[in-house]
Amino acid sequence: MSTPPRKPRQISGPKPIPLQWGAASAKARGPVIPFFNDPARNAIGGFVNGIQRAVAVAEGGLNPAYRANLHNTHPTFMFERSDRWKDIVSLDPFGHTVTEDFADLLKKGYRIQPTIGVTQAQLTIPEVQQAMADGTLKPDGKVLTWAGKIVVTKAYIDQVWHLPGVAKRLGVEEKHLRETLYKETGQYKDLIDRPDLDVFVPPIAGTSVYILGDPTKVGDPDVHHTVRIHDACHASDSWGSDICTCRPYFVYAALRCIESAQNGGIGILIYNHSTEGRAMGDVLKLLIYNARKRDPEGDTAERYFTHAENVAGIKDMRIYSLSTDPLLWLGVTRIHHLCSMSNYKFNALQQAGIEVIDRFEIPEEFIPADAQVEITAKKSDGYHTKAVPSDWELSATVGRSLTP
Amino acid sequence: MSTPPRKPRQISGPKPIPLQWGAASAKARGPVIPFFNDPARNAIGGFVNGIQRAVAVAEGGLNPAYRANLHNTHPTFMFERSDRWKDIVSLDPFGHTVTEDFADLLKKGYRIQPTIGVTQAQLTIPEVQQAMADGTLKPDGKVLTWAGKIVVTKAYIDQVWHLPGVAKRLGVEEKHLRETLYKETGQYKDLIDRPDLDVFVPPIAGTSVYILGDPTKVGDPDVHHTVRIHDACHASDSWGSDICTCRPYFVYAALRCIESAQNGGIGILIYNHSTEGRAMGDVLKLLIYNARKRDPEGDTAERYFTHAENVAGIKDMRIYSLSTDPLLWLGVTRIHHLCSMSNYKFNALQQAGIEVIDRFEIPEEFIPADAQVEITAKKSDGYHTKAVPSDWELSATVGRSLTP
């Protein structure tokens, strides 16, 4: 998807560097500079946490001209270019190597910041420690420490959109996408005023990636890869709200990833942050819960999606077609064990040309009682399962109602 | 903080309704309508998850004119007006009652949506179940079910800023705040073009509130209140990254909240979502980790904040002065047991006129080994503690370095 560079209009000061998205090297591609008011700006959008940053500037706590001191911040593991980087449309594949790729430009005062961070971490997940206590998991001192911590290589990836590529993924015209983004948000007027700028840094959260096993093996099609693409649901993920299967499915995937890594394979947990309430937001999510729980016919699997559509006008707002880019960035071409039943995620992987050998359902014992409504509705909607629910099951699967 | 209404400029179509922030009733205050392109718009900003919403519209999955069907979505518990509502500046205290307050306007086609959802939930937290197994917690079938689930009243609150009030809280001029928000983000030009619009819906995540115990008692100064204001840190909260005390402190607070509610009191867990990496964002957070871990002198408590300031130009970008508004909304005037050591949070509570009787440190056994650096640095920086670290402890408290 290499496109000919378009020359950005110059405002004043340091020269904007044209971006050649899809180029084989960072230098040929050019650095992404989305800072508003920066004369070298060559992208639309802005800095993540822009509002908090602006408040810190208004209060006098942050000098708006401060340039990040990037000494010693480089990745703990260097993910290298794969053939698939040219197909990426929603992140900057060179986002982790700006200090080495653009050392000269940084010296000249260009404001270039990493959009990907890579570090190491150790995770303590109580359910994993329980599995160790039960004897179903065994520590090896490497993937799983004797103290029960999971050793991971961890990345965080900001979203950076190449608008022509994103439009193509979504199956819409780029002009239509630009106009709709502007019309519906009322912001980012440059989307329509600056067709010379191809790249947009959207104001939405990015993706965490947790890698278990030897990161040098990531992407080797002959090495067993266990993968979950997980969409954040803080109420379940953090504090175990029992109305959905989010945390349980992630925990199941973490157990399978540990197993894979302990057997010489790789485990990859992709965690998308801009997906709360199927990307409809938390308030709508709670309103939908209430409408479900107050349905005179009960909170049935049959009417699970109807309630979402009534309240939000749509059952799901997640942008599945972009969710595979972190895997393209890692160079993953084959997933041996996909911990997901979602047909939407599976279709996105197919479209991205990532082979899926086997798909694993969440085991029955991981599903909270009140989450049966959700999982049964999803199975009926096309989720991968060996047990497609009957009409009778759809109407008979009923969740808790509101108390008192 | 009742201000005289300013008349919004009319564009065309349904008439914009002036907002009288701080008014005693929703009808007197008026509905907040931030939808861009809506002629009745009377606020700056937009819908949460605006980008995902726009993509859904561009793809044809969502009709942009769809009006939410709010039937049966009303709160499971009705939090009622308290004297403190007039002092709120960063949320809409009438955000949960739009269907009853503005039924006439909704019928006329005004596009008014709740900015607060209130429901019930049951939470499964493995550490709580462990405490039950240990016998340190006992189920009562009400606050803590026999199956070990925590029964909560749960709210999610979007941010809605009254700009004159927010400026006053921050201690800056409103004009300066508006100009800086626009200058630093490059968006929301209405902040400077429309001084007639006082209200801004910022594009940042809101706050979850979990209430344990009888919600009718919330705010009664004679009822024991245990409270934590927690700032989201997904890596620790969800998956137990062991470099900080975030999940452990929340779990400790949850245990204390259960205790309080079981003894006839109230537990309140406030969960702020726009605070990742001390509101500096996840990429900067990982870059700072690497700089700390690669410090030739080791990852010491002494240099903990120095690394943040080097990379980000500031050690903390959280907007503490707004963090007390959810408690004002609940009508809380006295906290008997505050589960927090943060001097910033404590000062914000003092400024908000919320009395704090006692503050509780996270117990030593809850602190992961590699998080000693963070907590020691914070104690030295002014965190409430019975054990202020010496200079020797500051330099001797050293975390893990990067491996290999």
Instruction: For B178-226, write each residue's pLDDT tens digit.
Output: 999 999 999 999 999 999 999 999 999 999 999 999 999 999 999 999 9
Q: pLDDT for A314-362, tens place per residue?
A: 999 999 999 999 999 999 999 999 999 999 999 999 999 999 999 999 9
The whole-angstrom separation of Cα A160 and Cα B332 is 42
Q: pLDDT for A248-258, tens place per residue?
A: 999 999 999 99
Return the pLDDT at B4.
53
Q: pLDDT for A65-80, tens place per residue?
A: 898 999 999 999 999 9
Return the pLDDT at B109.
87
8 Å CB contact of A279 and B122? no
Return the pLDDT at B2.
47
8 Å CB contact of A238 and B237? yes
Return the pLDDT at B8.
53
* Mean pLDDT, range B24-33, rounded to an integer: 96
The whole-angstrom separation of Cα B246 and Cα B238 is 10
A286 closest CA partner among A362, A234, A325: A234
Instruction: Give the 3-state secondary structure of residue B14.
Output: coil
Tell me how close the Cα of A222 comes to any Cα of chain B, in angstroms. Answer: 25
* Local confidence band at B10 (pLDDT 50, 70, 90 cut-offs): very low
DSSP symbol at B199: E
Lowest mean pLDDT among A4-8, A38-42, A251-255, B254-258: A4-8
Strand partners, A314: none
B152 closest CA partner among B266, B271, B272: B266
Contacting residues of B for A242, CB less than 8 Å apart: 121-124, 149
pLDDT at residue B131 is higher than 50: yes
Taking the Cβ of residue A52 and every Cβ of chain B, the question of whether any pair is shorter than 8 Å is answered with yes
Lowest mean pLDDT among A64-68, A147-151, B93-97, B329-333: A64-68
Tell me how close the Cα of A74 comes to any Cα of chain B, in angstroms. Answer: 7
Tokens 């130009």 belong to residue: B313
Task: Please enumerate in sequence order all residues whose Cβ is within 8 A of that of B159, keeping only pairs 6 or more positions apart, or say none.
Answer: B90, B91, B201, B202, B204, B205, B206, B207, B274, B322
Q: Which residue of B has its CA nearest to A71?
A: B291
Q: Which residue of B has its CA nearest to A60?
A: B172
pLDDT at residue B1 is higher than 90: no
Token pair for B127: 């550490």
- What is each CA distance from A230 to A53, A272, A338, A342, in whole angstroms? 28, 6, 11, 10
pLDDT at residue A87 is higher than 50: yes
Return the pLDDT at B6.
57
Chain B contacts in chain A segment 317-336 (CB below 8 A): 317-319
Q: Which of B41, B99, B252, B282 to mutate to test binding with chain A, by most A CBs within 10 Å of its CB?
A: B282
The whole-angstrom separation of Cα A274 and Cα B51 is 10
* Marked catalytic residue, from B92, B237, B316, B325: B316
Token pair for A20: 């050649």
Taking the Cβ of residue B170 and every Cβ of chain A, the question of whether any pair is shorter than 8 Å is answered with yes
Q: Which of B41, B55, B157 to mutate to test binding with chain A, by most A CBs within 10 Å of its CB?
A: B55
Contact A312, A78 (CB under 8 A): no
* Local confidence band at B401 (pLDDT 50, 70, 90 cut-offs): confident
Q: pLDDT for B266-322, tens place per residue?
A: 999 999 999 999 999 999 999 999 999 999 999 999 999 999 999 999 999 999 999
Return the pLDDT at A1.
43
Mode of pairing for the β-strands spanning A266-272 and A207-212: antiparallel
Return the pLDDT at A38.
82
B170 closest CA partner among A63, A55, A51, A54: A55
* Mean pLDDT, range A38-45, rounded to an integer: 91
8 Å CB contact of A295 and B72? yes
Which structural domains are found in chain B, ordered by start? 26-399 (3.40.50.10990)
Contact A318, A231 (CB under 8 A): yes
Q: Which of A51, A57, A114 has its CB closest to that of B203?
A: A51
* Local confidence band at A277 (pLDDT 50, 70, 90 cut-offs): very high
Q: Which of B46, B61, B273 has its CB closest to that of A185?
A: B46
Q: pLDDT for B377-387, tens place per residue?
A: 999 898 999 88
Return the pLDDT at B39.
85
* Local confidence band at A36 (pLDDT 50, 70, 90 cut-offs): confident
Q: Which of A33, A49, A74 to mutate to test binding with chain B, by most B CBs within 10 Å of its CB?
A: A49
Count Cβ–Cβ pairs < 8 Å, chain A vs chain B: 352
Return the pLDDT at B9.
53
Return the pLDDT at A148.
95
Return the pLDDT at A35.
84
* Local confidence band at A10 (pLDDT 50, 70, 90 cut-offs): very low
Return the pLDDT at A12.
54
Taking the Cβ of residue A149 and every Cβ of chain B, the question of whether any pair is shorter than 8 Å is answered with yes
* Local confidence band at A228 (pLDDT 50, 70, 90 cut-offs): very high
A258 CB-side CA count, 13 A? 29
Containing B338, the helix (H) or strand (E) segment is: strand B337-338
Mode of pairing for the β-strands spanning B225-231 and A44-45: unpaired
Q: Which of A282, A297, A305, A365 to mutate to test binding with chain B, by most B CBs within 10 Å of its CB?
A: A282
Task: Please enumerate in sequence order all residues whose Cβ is within 8 A of that of B58, keeping only pairs 6 or more positions apart, or say none.
Answer: A170, A172, A176, A177, A180, A181
Q: Which of B64, B76, B294 has its CB closest to that of A184?
A: B64
Tokens 């410090």 belong to residue: B295
pLDDT at residue B146 is higher than 80: yes
Taking the Cβ of residue A271 and every Cβ of chain B, the question of whether any pair is shorter than 8 Å is answered with yes
8 Å CB contact of B51 and A282? no
8 Å CB contact of A120 and B180? no
Contacting residues of B for A149, CB less than 8 Å apart: 242
A149 closest CA partner among A49, A22, A254: A254
DSSP symbol at B12: S
* Mean pLDDT, range A292-311, rounded to an integer: 94
Contact A271, A227 (CB under 8 A): no
How many other CB atoms are found less than 10 A from the CB of residue A387? 10
Q: Which residue of A has its CA nearest to B169?
A: A59
The whole-angstrom separation of Cα B327 and Cα B348 is 11
A66 closest CA partner among A27, A31, A125, A113: A113
* Local confidence band at A47 (pLDDT 50, 70, 90 cut-offs): confident
8 Å CB contact of A156 and B318? no
**Amino acid at the residue B25:** S
Task: List the catalytic residues of A.
Answer: 316, 318
DSSP symbol at B398: B
Q: Which residue has the higher pLDDT, A2 or B403?
A: B403
The whole-angstrom separation of Cα B349 and Cα A239 is 25
Contact B329, B85 (CB under 8 A): yes
Chain A contacts in chain B segment 222-251 (CB below 8 A): 232, 234-235, 237-243, 247, 250
pLDDT at residue A388 is higher than 80: yes
A320 closest CA partner among A225, A208, A229: A229
**Amino acid at the residue B213:** G
Active site residue B67: no
Token pair for B157: 């609150």
8 Å CB contact of B185 and A55? no
The whole-angstrom separation of Cα B190 and Cα B174 is 14
Q: Which of A58, A119, A208 has its CB closest to that of B172?
A: A58
* Mean pLDDT, range B148-172, rounded to an integer: 98
Return the pLDDT at A13.
62
Mean pLDDT of chain B: 93
What is the pTM (predicted TM-score) of this model?
A: 0.95
Token pair for A332: 């993953």
Token pair for A63: 């000098």
8 Å CB contact of A314 and B61? yes
Q: pLDDT for B334-376, tens place per residue?
A: 999 999 999 999 999 999 999 999 999 999 999 999 999 999 9
Instruction: Give the 3-state secondary structure of residue B46.
Output: coil
8 Å CB contact of A57 and B180? yes
Q: What is the 3-state secondary structure (H, E, C) of chain A?
A: CCCCCCCCCCCCCCCCCCCCCCCCCHHHHCCCCCCCCCCCCCCEECCCCHHHHHHHHHHCCCCCCCCCCCCCCCCCCCCCCCHHHHHCCCCCCCCCCHHHHCHHHHHCCCCCCCCEEEEEEEECCHHHHHHHHHCCCCCCCCCECCCCCEEEEEEEECCCEEHHHHHHHHCCCHHHHHHHHHHHHCCCCHHHHCCCCCEEECCCCCEEEEEECCHHHCCCCCCCEEEEEEECCHHHHCCCECCCCHHHHHHHHHHHHHHHHHCCCEEEEEEECCCCCCCCCHHHHHHHHHHHHCCCCCCEHHHHHHHHHHHHCCCCCCCHHHCCHHHHHHCCCEECEECCCCHHHHHHHHHCCCEECCECCCCHHHCCHHHHHHHHHHHHCCCCCCCCCCHHHHHHCECCCCCC
Taking the Cβ of residue A203 and every Cβ of chain B, the question of whether any pair is shorter than 8 Å is answered with yes
* Local confidence band at B403 (pLDDT 50, 70, 90 cut-offs): confident
Contact A11, A39 (CB under 8 A): yes
8 Å CB contact of B208 and A118? no
The whole-angstrom separation of Cα A151 and Cα A213 is 8
Burial of B5 (0-12, 13-18, 19+ CB in 10 A): middle
| Cis status of the peptide bond prior to A404, with omega within 30 of 0 | yes
Percent with pLDDT over 90 in chain A: 86
* Marked catalytic residue, from B237, B318, B325, B359: B318
8 Å CB contact of B156 and A285? yes
Mean pLDDT of chain A: 93
Taking the Cβ of residue A63 and every Cβ of chain B, the question of whether any pair is shorter than 8 Å is answered with yes
* Local confidence band at A37 (pLDDT 50, 70, 90 cut-offs): confident
* Local confidence band at A133 (pLDDT 50, 70, 90 cut-offs): very high
8 Å CB contact of A118 and B204? no
Tell me how close the Cα of B9 comes to any Cα of chain A, in angstroms. Answer: 17
